[in-house]
């Protein structure tokens, strides 16, 4: 029975690799409106969400750039594309994953002139281009929309001989126990960190003649195997715009209230079960101890936009000279 199962999977992979054609990407009208309004992710959101992202292995450095954070964003366009893979290969998650991988690798062009871009997946689809973070974010969104909830981002750092410099890179890992990838140092390392069943997928460099194709990351590319951080994908919602007060990250002060942050934001939530709400929890923490908290529930759906304004603060015993080192605002997004 095991041999039969393996043969079926291999046959499915062969079909998926040999019968693949894509046309221009139809963008849902609602997503087109979203693209025009929110072409890029706010830097404040990126900084906040990176603090609440679940680490599966490694650590985020304190100077982790906000541009390297991606969000998983299941919009109608992404759901429609993922549903197409499921219709073509029902009950076969391996073939669906292969299709998502090659779709991103073949349909998206690398944006050489803007390596620090930070954009939503629908923007990547709309423009047809992006950098490694955008490739990874789009692939993760397609996999999540297809029902694969165990998806992670793999952050690496290493020397790129082709470019002659140190370079960071991001790709995707997904829990897919029914598929065993070819042995490589990279796949072995990912599984040693995350356990069996996980495989790495790099849609940025996986198909353009560099070093790898689907599920066969090659340790010859140092930015594949020199893994520094593996983090679960941030899901269940998106903050479209965020304003931390007139002075941005500067701490405000009131004689009665003490030191505080003004927070203004627009929240819009996406999730598979549209009957559910998404909870956005903002926390002000000092040395990882929660000082103040604001919890906001947002109804899921294309047309639900919630504008909120609140204050996070505490009394005057705080040492303002050290606040950049000890105080952070965390945003946690949960169903």
Q: Do residues 223 and 254 share a domain?
A: no
Predicted confidence at residue 64, as pLDDT, reads 53
| pTM of the predicted protein model | 0.78
Q: How many folded domains does the chain comprise?
A: 2
**198 and 84 together in one domain:** yes
Domain stop point among 183, 216, 232 = 232
Confidence (pLDDT) at 93: 95
Verify that 157 and 72 share a domain, yes or no: yes
Same domain, 47 and 182: yes
List the CATH number of the domain containing 281: 2.60.40
pLDDT at 16: 40
User: Is the domain of 54 the same as that of 133?
Assistant: yes
Q: What is the mean pLDDT of each run of 10 residues along the chain (335 residues)?
A: 27 40 73 77 66 79 55 84 96 94 90 68 89 90 92 82 73 92 84 93 66 60 78 70 67 76 82 66 83 88 79 66 67 75
pLDDT score of 317: 59
Residues 211 and 301 occupy one common structural domain: no
3-state SS, one letter per residue, for the chain: CHHHHHHHHHHHHHHHHHCCCCCCCCCCHHHHHHHHHCCECCHHHHHHHHHHCCEEEECCCCCCCHHHCCCCCCCHHHHHHHHHHHHHCCCCHHHHHHHHHHHHHHHCEECCCCCCCCECHHHHHHHCEECHHHHHHHHHHHHHHCCCCCEEEEEEEEEECCCCEEEEEEEEEEECCCCCCCCCHHHHHHHHHHCCCEEEECCCCCCCCCCCCCCCCCCCCHHHHCEEEEEECCCCCEEEEEECCCCCCCCEEECCCEEEEEEEEEEEECCCCCCCEEEEEEEEEECCEEEEEEEEEEEECCCCCEEEEEEEEECCCCCHHHHHHHEEEEEEEEC
Residues 165 and 245 in one domain: no
The reply to whether 220 and 246 lie within a common domain is: no
For residue 273, give its domain range. Answer: 238-334
> Do 118 and 252 have their domain in common?
no
Structural domain ending residue among the three candidates 202, 232, 262? 232
């Amino acid at each position: 029975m095991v041999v039969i199962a393996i043969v079926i999977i291999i046959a499915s992979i062969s079909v998926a690799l040999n019968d693949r054609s894509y046309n221009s990407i139809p963008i849902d009208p609602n997503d087109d409106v979203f693209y025009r309004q929110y072409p890029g992710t706010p830097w404040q959101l990126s900084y906040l969400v990176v603090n609440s992202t679940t680490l599966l292995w490694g650590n985020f450095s304190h100077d982790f750039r906000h541009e390297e954070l991606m969000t998983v964003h299941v919009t109608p366009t992404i759901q429609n594309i993922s549903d197409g893979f499921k219709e073509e290969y029902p009950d076969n998650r391996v073939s669906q994953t292969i299709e998502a991988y090659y779709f991103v690798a073949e349909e998206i062009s690398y944006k050489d002139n803007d390596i620090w871009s930070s954009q939503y997946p629908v923007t990547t689809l709309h423009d047809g281009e992006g950098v490694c973070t955008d490739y990874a974010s789009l692939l993760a969104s397609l996999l999540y929309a297809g029902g694969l909830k165990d998806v992670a981002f793999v952050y690496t750092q290493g020397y790129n001989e082709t470019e002659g410099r140190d370079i960071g890179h991001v790709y995707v890992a997904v829990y897919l126990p029914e598929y065993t990838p070819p042995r490589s140092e990279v796949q072995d390392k990912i599984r040693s960190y995350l356990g069996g069943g996980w495989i790495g997928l790099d849609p940025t460099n996986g198909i353009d003649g560099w070093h790898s194709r689907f599920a066969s990351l090659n340790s010859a590319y140092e930015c594949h195997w020199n893994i520094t951080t593996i983090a679960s994908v941030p899901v269940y919602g998106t903050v479209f715009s965020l304003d931390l007060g007139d002075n941005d990250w500067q701490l405000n002060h009131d004689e009665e209230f003490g030191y505080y942050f003004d927070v203004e934001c627009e929240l819009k939530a996406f999730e598979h079960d549209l009957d559910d709400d998404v909870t956005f929890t903002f926390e002000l923490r000092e040395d990882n101890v929660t000082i103040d908290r604001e919890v906001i529930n947002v109804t899921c759906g294309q047309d639900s936009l919630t504008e909120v304004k609140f204050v996070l603060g505490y009394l005057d015993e705080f040492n303002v000279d050290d606040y950049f080192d000890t105080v952070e605002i965390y945003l946690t997004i949960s169903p």
